[in-house]
Structures are given as C-alpha cells and as structure tokens.
Amino acid sequence: MPEIASRCRTQPPPRHIVYEALVSPDRDPARPWLILHDDELRPTIAEAIEPDLVVWTSIWPSRPDARIRFDFAGPPNGSVNELINQNLRFTFGQ
C-alpha cells in the first residue's frame, strides 16, 4: 500500500512507554487516550516489534486495507527538527 501521509514528532515519555500505550491503549483506565469518532473502529495490532514499531489495522471502515504505522527510530535529526518544527512554525507566528 502506498504511503499517503507521514509525520515525525517527538514524545516526552521514552519510546518503550509510547510503544506500550500503542499496543495496549486501555491498559490504564484512569488515562484513556484512544478516543474514536462514531465512524471509526478500534484498531488491532497488525505488527509489533518492541520497542521500535507498531502497526495498527485501519480505523476507517471505508479503508479496511489501510494501516497506521508508528516507527520509533529515535530522535529526529536536529537540524531538520529545528528547520521544520521551530523555524517553519515561527514563520507562521507560532
């Protein structure tokens, strides 16, 4: 399947914590975070390689063949991160 979107973001917790949250989104009922819209389905795990990769099945009934891929390849390149996540945002007043 072709890639239709891609984003790179850092997360405050270590990647193994984010990995655990993605493979078990309901593990902490005090902190629900996977809030689906009425037209979305709960994903299942299509592939998981701890702590580097999680692939979900589609959450969209109209796109059952879609996959949502989370790669944890470490922090983004510093200069690219500054260019896109700091400099570009700054030009838009953010």
Q: Each residue of 12-31: pLDDT tens digit?
A: 788 888 899 999 999 888 88
DSSP assignments along 56-77, one per residue:
EEPS-TT-TT-EEEEE--SSPP
pLDDT value at 88 more than 80: no
Task: Decide if pLDDT at 59 tops 90.
Answer: yes
pLDDT at 79: 46
What is the average per-residue pLDDT within 33-62? Answer: 94
Q: How confident is the model at residue 73 (pLDDT cuts 50, 70, 90)?
A: confident
Q: Name the residue with higher pLDDT: 5 or 61.
A: 61
Average pLDDT over residues 39-64: 94
pLDDT over threshold 70, residue 77: no
Task: Enumerate the domain spans of the chain.
Answer: 15-91
- Cα distances (angstroms) measured from residue 21 to each of 37, 41, 65: 19, 17, 23
pLDDT at 15: 85
